[in-house]
Amino acid sequence: MSNSDVFQDALNRVREIGADADINPEVVESLLYPKAVIKASLPVRMDDGSTKYFTGYRCRYNDVLGPTKGGIRYHPQVTGEEVQALGLWMTIKCALLRLPYGGAKGGVIVQPKELSPMELERLSRAYVRAMADFIGPQVDIPAPDVYTNARIMGWMMDEYEAIKRVRSPGVITGKPVSLGGSLGRDEATGRGAYICIRELALKQDWQPEKTRIAVQGFGNASYHVARLLQKDGFKIVAISDSQGGIYSDSGFDIESLWKEKQSSRQVRAVYCEQSVCQLVEHKEITNEELLALDVDVLVPAALEGVITNDNVKSIRAKNIVEVANGPIQTEAEAELEKQGVSILPDVLVNAGGVTVSYFEWVQNRGGYPWDLEEVRSKLEVQMTRAFEQVWKLATTENRTFRNAAYTVALRRIGEAVTSHGTREYFREDE
Ligand code: NAD
């Protein structure tokens, strides 16, 4: 699926679920147009003395519930459309989790693994110089996403503060803890996803040791979800990264796999050149093969659009838990539903990240850091409440989990939109 299709696909989903859930059409319409999108050229002095121009985007999608919030992605396939789709999903996600935020997203078209650490720092600072009047702690608050991390967030905060001449830790979340980041932010997306799978397993009486799970991706989000599931006895039988995957019938020890990947890796900038494929004795599989494994739970945790019309017929998992944003194309989803596959949607599953980002922002504004247990227990409350709402609506009204999650979010956004007044309130003819 091309990235322009990703945005149209995201809009269609809102239209369809909005109509199905009887959401006021004015509310649905308010979600079809991004509030503002900025595209900027980012000049970066390269190590060889030349200047290279990168393209950066930031989309503040919708701010009816509060300042906009969303990550910044570094990837060669970033497009304006993709950034808008991701901004829309952030809008839904923040509403579902009852966070006082709207949705946003940013990205830079770059293969970050080809940059040196200093080039990466200059690029990150250039991004903030271009966006400094578009972001802000009360306006739009970025965070990490694919191939960006805490160190990059630290550089970005520093650049913003240098431009504005004021300390402003609340301008960005996912920072290093020593620079005002929150304890527990690094694991938050994975932990939130783990809570969703744990709750689903409880509702459906799964036995962890008999539950076989395949995870696509071995990054920030997927490492933590795999680690926590394995701790509870679930079997992680396959895991992958951009270079390929590995499979073991008896399951992997995630912690040692992760440590090995870290210790053996040849670091270039902040990225790992080592693939999981080179780490242990195992059967190597491709990412396509991983998606087609006959497992109880498939966890796509890399990029969007990986399950499409082209490969949907090969999917054999009984449950799909979307840690990545938008891994399933809408048409493919209809086919999965026909096949009886149950899907826990991204807007719920990966919302732990933005929830702890919100905690970080609250701590920054209050100037009072919380301990790890406080962060974890508040995340537990937020995630289980959202899960319960989605579960209840899905089971009592016979909706899919995605339909239920969107319905909860659209109703919440709807309350805010209609309290400003809709046509019904303003029309003068009756
Ligand atoms: P990351 O950069 O830490 O990890 C991404 C992983 O995906 C890496 O292991 C990479 O090798 C792998 N990957 C890249 N291309 C791939 C491909 N074509 N096939 C298989 N694997 C591939 O990123 P992350 O932060 O873990 O984000 C992963 C997903 O989770 C994204 O969709 C992101 O939007 C979503 N997400 C992340 C957060 C967060 O807080 N990190 C929050 C919400 C959603």
Which residue's C-alpha comes closest to atom 4 of ligand 1? 219
- Ligand 1: which atom is nearest the Cα of residue 221? 26
CA distances from 257 to 154, 187, 213, 425 (A): 28, 17, 16, 59
In a domain, 314, yes or no: yes
Domain co-membership, 89 together with 210: no
Predicted pLDDT of residue 302:
92
Q: Are residues 161 and 286 in the same domain?
A: no
Instruction: For residue 234, report the distance from its CA to the centre of ligand 1, in Å.
Output: 21
Residue of minimum CA distance from atom 43 in ligand 1: 350
164 and 200 co-located in one domain: no
Task: With respect to residue 395, please indicate whether it lies within any of the assigned structural domains.
Answer: no
- Select from 349, 382, 412 the last residue of a domain: 349
Catalytic residue list contains 105: yes
Tell how strand 267-268 and strand 271-272 pair up: antiparallel
Range of the domain at 218: 188-349
Structurally, how many domains does the chain consist of? Answer: 2
Contact 94, 354 (CB under 8 A): yes
Residue with the smallest CA separation from ligand 1 atom 17 is 242
Can you tell me the distance from the alpha carbon of 349 to that of 145, in angstroms, rounded to the nearest whole number? 15
Does some domain include residue 336? yes
Burial 149-163 (b: 16+ CB within 10 A, else e): bbbbbbbbbbbbeee
Task: Mark whether 325 and 208 lie in a shared domain.
Answer: yes
| pLDDT confidence of residue 5 | 79
Same domain, 258 and 130: no
Report the pocket of ligand 1 as residue ranges, CB < 6 Å. 144-147, 189, 216-222, 240-242, 287, 301-303, 323-325, 350, 353
The CATH number of residue 250's host domain is: 3.40.50.720
What pLDDT sits at residue 1?
56
Q: Verify that 148 and 208 share a domain, yes or no.
A: no
- Indicate whether 343 and 205 sit together in one domain: yes
Q: Are residues 193 and 165 in the same domain?
A: no
Last residue of some domain: 312, 332, 349?
349
Structural domain includes residue 181: no
In a domain, 396, yes or no: no
Residues 338 and 193 in one domain: yes
Tell me whether residue 370 is in a domain.
no
Which residue's CA lies nearest to atom 33 of ligand 1?
Answer: 324
pTM, two decimals, is 0.93
- Domain end call among 291, 314, 349: 349
pLDDT in 10s for each residue of the chain, 430 residues: 565 578 998 999 999 999 999 999 999 999 999 999 999 999 999 999 999 999 999 999 999 999 999 999 999 999 999 999 999 999 999 999 999 999 999 999 999 999 999 999 999 999 999 999 999 999 999 999 999 999 999 999 999 999 999 999 999 999 999 999 999 999 999 999 999 999 999 999 999 999 999 999 988 899 999 999 999 999 999 999 888 889 999 898 998 888 877 765 522 333 444 555 544 567 889 999 999 999 999 999 998 889 999 999 999 999 999 999 999 988 899 999 999 999 999 999 999 999 999 999 999 999 999 999 999 999 999 999 999 999 999 999 999 999 999 999 999 999 999 998 888 888 866 5
Q: Which of 241, 285, 354 to mutate to test the pocket of ligand 1 (most atoms within 8 A of CB)?
A: 241
Nearest CA, atom 23, ligand 1: 146
Instruction: Give Cα separations from 250 to 229, 255, 282 (angstroms).
Output: 15, 15, 11
**Residue-level pLDDT at 232:** 96
Count of CB atoms within 10 A of residue 64's CB? 20
Whether residue 165 is found in the same domain as residue 197: no
Two structure tokens written together for 362 = 């609250």
Handedness of CA 22, 26, 32, 35 (dihedral sign): negative
Can you give the CATH number for the domain in which 131 is found? 3.40.50.10860
Tell me the CA–centroid distance for residue 324 and ligand 1, in Å.
Answer: 6
Q: How far is the CA of 190 from the centre of ligand 1 (A)?
A: 11
Whether residue 142 is found in the same domain as residue 223: no
| 155: in domain | yes
Does residue 224 lie within any of the structural domains? Answer: yes
At position 17, the amino acid (one-letter code) is I
Q: Closest by alpha carbon to 402, among 352, 341, 356, 353?
A: 341
Amino acid 267: pLDDT? 26
Residue 273: what pLDDT?
A: 47
Task: Name the residue of 145, 148, 322 to mutate for ligand 1: max ligand atoms within 8 A of Cβ.
Answer: 145
What's the CA dihedral at 21, 22, 25, 29 to 10 degrees? Answer: -10
Residues 110 and 208 in one domain: no
